[in-house]
Amino acid sequence: MLNRSVTLRVMVVEDSADMRARVAGLIHEVAGIEIVAEAEDESSALALYDKHQPDAAVVDIRIRNGSGIAVLDHIKRHNPDCVVVMLTNCAQLEFRQRCHEAGADHFLEKSREFSRVANVFRHLLRRKSNTSE
Protein backbone atom coordinates (compact mmCIF):
# COMPACT_ATOMS: atom_id res chain seq x y z
CA MET A 1 0.00 0.00 0.00
CA LEU A 2 1.31 3.46 -0.93
CA ASN A 3 1.96 5.74 2.03
CA ARG A 4 0.46 9.07 0.89
CA SER A 5 2.38 11.08 3.49
CA VAL A 6 5.70 10.35 1.77
CA THR A 7 7.16 13.24 -0.20
CA LEU A 8 10.11 13.08 -2.54
CA ARG A 9 12.10 16.34 -2.58
CA VAL A 10 13.64 17.11 -5.99
CA MET A 11 16.05 19.68 -7.42
CA VAL A 12 16.12 20.55 -11.16
CA VAL A 13 19.37 21.78 -12.73
CA GLU A 14 18.87 23.00 -16.29
CA ASP A 15 20.09 26.19 -17.99
CA SER A 16 17.04 26.62 -20.23
CA ALA A 17 14.09 28.21 -18.41
CA ASP A 18 11.68 26.60 -20.89
CA MET A 19 13.15 23.15 -20.32
CA ARG A 20 13.15 23.65 -16.52
CA ALA A 21 9.45 24.47 -16.77
CA ARG A 22 8.82 21.37 -18.90
CA VAL A 23 10.70 19.15 -16.44
CA ALA A 24 8.87 20.71 -13.50
CA GLY A 25 5.55 20.19 -15.26
CA LEU A 26 6.35 16.54 -15.86
CA ILE A 27 7.44 16.03 -12.25
CA HIS A 28 4.36 17.81 -10.89
CA GLU A 29 2.22 15.16 -12.60
CA VAL A 30 3.41 12.76 -9.90
CA ALA A 31 1.61 13.21 -6.57
CA GLY A 32 4.03 13.34 -3.66
CA ILE A 33 6.85 15.15 -5.47
CA GLU A 34 8.01 18.54 -4.26
CA ILE A 35 10.48 20.60 -6.29
CA VAL A 36 12.59 22.29 -3.62
CA ALA A 37 15.09 24.05 -5.87
CA GLU A 38 15.82 25.00 -9.47
CA ALA A 39 19.19 26.13 -10.80
CA GLU A 40 20.56 27.19 -14.16
CA ASP A 41 24.29 27.22 -13.39
CA GLU A 42 26.84 25.18 -11.49
CA SER A 43 27.46 27.50 -8.53
CA SER A 44 23.73 27.97 -7.86
CA ALA A 45 23.14 24.24 -8.18
CA LEU A 46 25.85 23.43 -5.64
CA ALA A 47 24.63 26.05 -3.16
CA LEU A 48 20.99 25.01 -3.53
CA TYR A 49 21.86 21.35 -3.16
CA ASP A 50 23.75 22.05 0.07
CA LYS A 51 20.90 24.21 1.39
CA HIS A 52 17.97 21.90 0.55
CA GLN A 53 19.54 18.42 0.59
CA PRO A 54 16.97 16.98 -1.88
CA ASP A 55 16.21 13.27 -2.19
CA ALA A 56 16.73 13.42 -5.95
CA ALA A 57 17.94 15.71 -8.72
CA VAL A 58 17.40 16.07 -12.46
CA VAL A 59 20.60 17.45 -13.97
CA ASP A 60 21.59 18.46 -17.51
CA ILE A 61 25.24 18.03 -18.47
CA ARG A 62 25.51 21.40 -20.20
CA ILE A 63 24.64 24.22 -17.82
CA ARG A 64 25.78 27.82 -17.49
CA ASN A 65 29.19 28.54 -16.00
CA GLY A 66 30.12 24.95 -15.37
CA SER A 67 29.10 21.38 -15.82
CA GLY A 68 26.26 19.15 -14.73
CA ILE A 69 28.82 16.40 -14.25
CA ALA A 70 30.51 18.56 -11.59
CA VAL A 71 27.10 18.93 -9.93
CA LEU A 72 26.64 15.14 -10.09
CA ASP A 73 30.09 14.63 -8.54
CA HIS A 74 29.27 17.05 -5.70
CA ILE A 75 25.91 15.45 -4.95
CA LYS A 76 27.26 11.91 -4.90
CA ARG A 77 30.25 12.91 -2.75
CA HIS A 78 27.94 14.48 -0.16
CA ASN A 79 25.08 11.98 -0.34
CA PRO A 80 25.49 8.80 -2.39
CA ASP A 81 21.82 7.95 -1.72
CA CYS A 82 20.53 11.04 -3.54
CA VAL A 83 19.09 9.78 -6.82
CA VAL A 84 20.48 11.70 -9.78
CA VAL A 85 18.78 11.60 -13.17
CA MET A 86 20.97 13.00 -15.93
CA LEU A 87 18.58 14.41 -18.57
CA THR A 88 20.59 15.69 -21.50
CA ASN A 89 21.10 16.07 -25.23
CA CYS A 90 24.75 15.00 -24.69
CA ALA A 91 24.06 11.32 -25.21
CA GLN A 92 27.44 10.29 -26.59
CA LEU A 93 29.07 7.24 -25.03
CA GLU A 94 31.81 9.31 -23.36
CA PHE A 95 29.19 11.33 -21.44
CA ARG A 96 27.25 8.20 -20.48
CA GLN A 97 30.41 6.56 -19.17
CA ARG A 98 31.53 9.64 -17.23
CA CYS A 99 28.10 10.01 -15.62
CA HIS A 100 27.98 6.31 -14.79
CA GLU A 101 31.46 6.51 -13.21
CA ALA A 102 30.34 9.54 -11.16
CA GLY A 103 27.35 7.62 -9.83
CA ALA A 104 24.39 8.77 -11.94
CA ASP A 105 21.38 6.59 -11.23
CA HIS A 106 19.71 7.27 -14.60
CA PHE A 107 20.91 8.70 -17.91
CA LEU A 108 18.10 9.86 -20.20
CA GLU A 109 18.21 11.59 -23.59
CA LYS A 110 15.96 14.63 -23.76
CA SER A 111 14.96 13.98 -27.36
CA ARG A 112 13.99 10.31 -26.92
CA GLU A 113 13.36 9.65 -23.22
CA PHE A 114 11.99 12.89 -21.76
CA SER A 115 8.67 11.34 -20.75
CA ARG A 116 10.45 8.62 -18.74
CA VAL A 117 11.33 11.19 -16.06
CA ALA A 118 7.85 10.94 -14.51
CA ASN A 119 8.09 7.14 -14.41
CA VAL A 120 11.47 7.30 -12.68
CA PHE A 121 9.97 9.50 -9.96
CA ARG A 122 6.85 7.35 -9.61
CA HIS A 123 9.11 4.37 -9.02
CA LEU A 124 11.29 6.27 -6.52
CA LEU A 125 8.24 7.49 -4.62
CA ARG A 126 6.83 3.95 -4.48
CA ARG A 127 10.16 2.62 -3.24
CA LYS A 128 10.45 5.35 -0.60
CA SER A 129 6.88 4.74 0.51
CA ASN A 130 7.46 1.00 0.87
CA THR A 131 10.59 1.52 2.98
CA SER A 132 8.84 4.00 5.29
CA GLU A 133 5.98 1.67 6.22
d(CA 6, CA 32): 6
> Sorting pLDDT into bands at 50, 70 and 90, what band is 131?
confident
Q: Tens digit of pLDDT for each residue in 82-121?
A: 999 999 999 899 999 999 999 999 999 999 999 999 999 9
Taking the C-alpha atoms of residue 26 and residue 126, their distance in angstroms, rounded to an integer, is 17
pLDDT digit string (tens) for 64-85?
A: 999 999 999 999 999 999 999 9
Q: Mind listing the pLDDT tens digit for each residue in 27-59?
A: 999 999 999 999 999 999 999 999 999 999 999
On whether the CB atoms of residues 3 and 129 are closer than 8 A, the answer is yes
pLDDT of residue 4: 55
Q: Identity (one letter) of the amino acid at 56?
A: A
Query: Considering only CA atoms, which of 126, 110, 83 is closest in space to residue 20?
Result: 110
- The overall longest dimension of the chain from CA atoms, in Å, is 44
